[in-house]
Structure 1
């Protein structure tokens, strides 16, 4: 065993006893990355002619919804510090950097009739700067920050949003498509709709009867419009790929008797937003559709809006790969008669009559809901392959929630290592998993949690006007992985990896 201490691009990689013969190697074609989103890092909320988003509105009008009344007005100040962001991506040895475009920075009034020159310049600088360093941009069109003017017109509950989004996508594809080859239309439609219309995410609307169901359908149609437009008009020129990200916690039945209801919950979380796209049949997942129809006879809020035959065909097949956001696994069991549902009364637990549990042997990250079960990721990848037969899966988010914010973040380091190991095992199983993108490049505004929680490979000093970024041990480790394409599986003698 040899003690290894390596300096790479200014980052000291140290503290590993590595047995080369036991290294876990990734294929040369596999892509490592890190991710952020516009509202969470950019700041510059009213710089130049930028428009107002629903998050700008929320933090200014309802500061009580934010931990410590936090705002994204400055956040990581990436609007001004984008060069440092690129430098960090280079230090980490990233193959790809996933970021999102702020709809209101590029189109200040939400519509395609006016494009901001400053917004266009900002994203051109970021894209060109990444490519100069050999880092591929992976661009998300929508990551939670809808223009407020469109929300005032009904937002994702207005069927016209599919056309508004398609117009926005066309502008982005036209401006940046010659250099951006991987696009993600919407990030986590489940959160957009099921949280946005159950008062646990902006726009904080309580409308499960109409709004959530309209949103569910409209996000799928909006995605399909953007995908088909790219496929017909831009793919012949640029040969890029387009997908939609799915937030999909993995669910395990607590007992064999709980498998049926667990499968139904998977349908509710995952298949409601992906079965119409990825399945051979299209439309809603049939078991869930029947369950909700039966439930809807007694509870209007349980039913689901039907697709027309034309809509089913329009949405079906609108993908080039499967984009997966994975964080944790939950155990599921049926609720007992009269039992209080909790602590997740939303997210389908009450509707389906289930309890979300955690195996007592699992460790947890910085929140009770965040159980750590790396094997769940591999099981999830197999489920996706068996269910949809997709020819490519990219993990577009995976990260560790920490409340302590220490630079010596050994728990995050171990979380990343263990989950990447499961990815490598899935590849060895024969699955075509082509990339792993860590959430997040740096600490940022974690939505309603403000700056109280940390997912970053880099720490950000939010009390410093310069928003100084400092690499954590997880960043040091990850930069080694990206360059050696190896997890260095045997790390003997290190307490932090036990």
Structure 2
């Protein structure tokens, strides 16, 4: 073997990480965006100040919900309504390229109607977005992250088609007043979670009126209509002057192979998951697997109507193509196996967990990076390799300052992502950490943490402080390189003590 080739191989072995990735796979592509995310109800607080209306969550946590693990709510949360400048300073100091936030619909339209616009709410978001722009941070804004006005929930929420018109009215107010400050819009965050899954349904907030499968599919149907109407409104009236992009944001689980996994089980698992909302956007109408399977179930249940609403040809045409990018929230994966005999799911697929998978404190979110790569390759093949913006990915723990588990999670998932980009040609443009701050985590309250910045919820000031992951992310972003996770007690590869000045409490 030539001497130069020997040296090259030795170098690759030396600089590659312990999992066998070559050095090239550890460098982020030019122009790749790294950022962090949040959501209004989970961080803002100020639930009843400056003209804000009551949200579905305000009502639920004050009047209905009893199963929040620490008996808490989002009345104050991180108090980001008053501390937004401090939050932006953290974003600036860490070096993030972008920040994803959501707008509180009732903070802008207190009674859900365009007839009453809350100027204090507009002013708050304008100040926040201007602060981000001054810090040279790309702004990603979700119009809707599950917190609509309570008055709209009282007429059925997303099971009522009037929500399509109300959402369009709300979006127009946002575009008119704030659109010039927004680079990337998300219309609706995770329609599948909104309409079917925990924590929303388990918390009963938007579950009122969504008590069965018929109502859940109706919810999805109306959400797709609302998304399409708002996409077209932006495209026709605002894109030329504001220059942003806009899309829907599903949450998608990945999958890995195992005993009983087949091409059919994978396809059913995908189409009844994120494909439920993406197939109408990328292909036109719901997938045939979804339509025929649900029709068979309706016959079995002696229904005289379809549980899956039918789009007219006009709506199929209107919805198709309404994504400027493929937004993706992702946390975990499953082993999809066909069910035989009596079904427990509409898809006819069992979602198996491998007991060997590492778990987080939120036990439904196992650490399965291999499934992330499989999902990205499926998106590449299914939808003609669209530009993918990963807008949530994160790790739950108990609030540790020395959060080695979180660093290892992000390292493993980003290793899989870089392999998908560089080796498999997946068109991924951005990665977003959930979340910037520890925040209110729905039915788990403040008992679990996703943040890379610590928030002291016992402090009236909601004091923010560094975690180990804060420091790791600073260096990853500074070097644009995926740095190997530190071992406990180690010195950093760029010099100095990695844990210095952080708490010695590793519990």
- TM-score (ref. length: structure 1): 0.89
Provide the residue aligned with 1:64 in structure 2: 66
Q: Equivalents in 1 of 2:306, 2:78: separation in Å?
A: 40
Q: Which moved more, 1:427-436 or 1:184-193?
A: 427-436
CA deviation profile, 1:380-438 (whole Å, cap 9, x unmatched): 11101100114300100000011x21100001001011111222112202222110000
* Partner secondary structure for residue 185 of structure 1: strand
- Correspondences of 1:244-323 after superposition (within 5 Å): 244-279=248-283, 282-299=284-301, 300=303, 303-323=307-327
Provide the residue aligned with 1:437 in structure 2: 432
Q: Equivalents in 2 of 1:302, 1:469: separation in Å?
A: 51
Q: Which moved more, 1:105-114 or 1:78-87?
A: 105-114
Q: Equivalents in 2 of 1:25, 1:372: separation in Å?
A: 23
Provide the residue aligned with 2:498 in structure 1: none
Q: Equivalents in 1 of 2:30, 2:61: separation in Å?
A: 44
Provide the residue aligned with 1:48 in structure 2: 50
Provide the residue aligned with 2:409 in structure 1: 415
- Correspondences of 1:226-245 after superposition (within 5 Å): 226-245=230-249
Q: Equivalents in 2 of 1:18, 1:87: separation in Å?
A: 33
Are the counterparts in 2 of residues 18 and 490 from structure 1 also a CA contact under 8 Å? Answer: no
| C-alpha deviation, 1:45, in angstroms | 0.2
Are the counterparts in 2 of residues 41 and 75 from structure 1 also a CA contact under 8 Å? Answer: yes
Cα 1:198/1:69, change in 2 over 3 Å? closer
Are the counterparts in 1 of residues 140 and 184 from structure 2 also a CA contact under 8 Å? Answer: yes
Provide the residue aligned with 1:8 in structure 2: none
Are the counterparts in 2 of residues 276 and 285 from structure 1 also a CA contact under 8 Å? Answer: yes
Are the counterparts in 2 of residues 195 and 201 from structure 1 also a CA contact under 8 Å? Answer: no
- Correspondences of 1:300-449 after superposition (within 5 Å): 300=303, 303-335=307-339, 337=341, 350-402=345-397, 404-428=398-422, 429-449=424-444
| C-alpha deviation, 1:115, in angstroms | 1.4
Q: Name whichever structure is richer in strand by fraction.
A: 1
Provide the residue aligned with 1:131 in structure 2: 133
| C-alpha deviation, 1:373, in angstroms | 1.3
Are the counterparts in 2 of residues 108 and 114 from structure 1 also a CA contact under 8 Å? Answer: yes
| C-alpha deviation, 1:209, in angstroms | 4.7
Greater relative contact order, per chain length (Cα 8 Å cut-off, separation 6+): 1
Q: Equivalents in 1 of 2:325, 2:181: separation in Å?
A: 19
Are the counterparts in 2 of residues 192 and 201 from structure 1 also a CA contact under 8 Å? Answer: no
| C-alpha deviation, 1:233, in angstroms | 0.5
CA deviation profile, 1:80-135 (whole Å, cap 9, x unmatched): 01111101111210000000000011111111112112111110110000111111
- TM-score (ref. length: structure 2): 0.88
Cα 1:425/1:48, change in 2 over 3 Å? same
Q: Equivalents in 1 of 2:465, 2:143: separation in Å?
A: 28
* Partner secondary structure for residue 411 of structure 2: helix
Are the counterparts in 2 of residues 19 and 490 from structure 1 also a CA contact under 8 Å? Answer: no
| C-alpha deviation, 1:490, in angstroms | 8.5
| C-alpha deviation, 1:360, in angstroms | 3.5
Provide the residue aligned with 2:154 in structure 1: 152
Match status 1:478 vs 2:473: yes
Q: Equivalents in 1 of 2:239, 2:444: separation in Å?
A: 39
Correspondent of 1:194 among 174, 193, 196: 196
Q: How many residues align?
A: 469
* Partner secondary structure for residue 98 of structure 1: strand
Match status 1:29 vs 2:31: yes
| C-alpha deviation, 1:356, in angstroms | 2.4
Q: Equivalents in 2 of 1:492, 1:134: separation in Å?
A: 33
Q: Which moved more, 1:110-119 or 1:214-223?
A: 110-119
Provide the residue aligned with 2:181 in structure 1: 179
Q: Equivalents in 1 of 2:355, 2:68: separation in Å?
A: 31
| C-alpha deviation, 1:258, in angstroms | 4.2
Q: Which moved more, 1:161-170 or 1:261-270?
A: 261-270
CA deviation profile, 1:29-73 (whole Å, cap 9, x unmatched): 010000000000000000111000000001100241322221100
Are the counterparts in 1 of residues 251 and 328 from structure 2 also a CA contact under 8 Å? Answer: yes
Q: Equivalents in 1 of 2:485, 2:62: separation in Å?
A: 50
Cα 1:191/1:140, change in 2 over 3 Å? same
CA deviation profile, 1:436-491 (whole Å, cap 9, x unmatched): 00000011010111111110001111000000111211111111111211013586
| C-alpha deviation, 1:139, in angstroms | 0.2
Are the counterparts in 1 of residues 438 and 453 from structure 2 also a CA contact under 8 Å? Answer: yes
| C-alpha deviation, 1:367, in angstroms | 3.0
Provide the residue aligned with 1:6 in structure 2: none
Alignment RMSD, CA only? 2.3
